[in-house]
Amino acid sequence: MELPSTKPYLLRAIWEWCCDNGFTPYIAVQVNARTSVPREFVRDGQIVLNLGPDATNKLQIGNELIEFQARFGGVSRQLSIPVEQVSAIYARENGAGMSFEIETAEAGAFADAPAVAATSEAPDDPPPDPTPPESGRPKLQRIK
């Protein structure tokens, strides 16, 4: 018998920790055919999304899917992300969070998708980097 994944529980816990402490929770997602996100904002097969309460509507972090509505360029969109495609969740302000392994066969399905990384924040904000550079900023570490 295969044990259920702890990943959705960890995602919910880190999301709650971010919100409770005044941080903005972001997720990095490896886009595949089952991932329903605005394709025009996908870069190198990935998209980074703001999951904060001010940026999302009807957010549900389930055991199989993360579903919510967010605005992109002023247009409301419905998003659906398979939990297994989330490669990281972290606080925008300090990079604290957790990263996850993604199966490469699933992750590479849209590796050549064009456009820019996006968040559901205001367009003037630069897109976040899930692994900040070594410039004194906190660094997201992969824990196995």
The pLDDT tens digits of the residues spanning 13-43 come to 999 999 999 999 999 999 999 999 999 999 9
Instruction: Decide if 70 is inside a domain.
Output: yes
Q: Which domain holds residue 25?
A: 7-110
49 vs 55: CA distance, rounded Å: 9
Q: Could you tell me the sign of the dihedral formed by the alpha carbons of 44, 78, 27, 128, in that order?
A: positive
How much is the pTM? Answer: 0.72
Among 2-6, 28-32, 61-65, 116-120, which stretch is predicted with the lowest mean pLDDT?
Answer: 116-120
Any idea what the CATH number is for the domain that residue 69 is in? 2.30.30.220
Give mean pLDDT, residues 99-110.
64
Pairing state between β 65-72 and 57-61: antiparallel
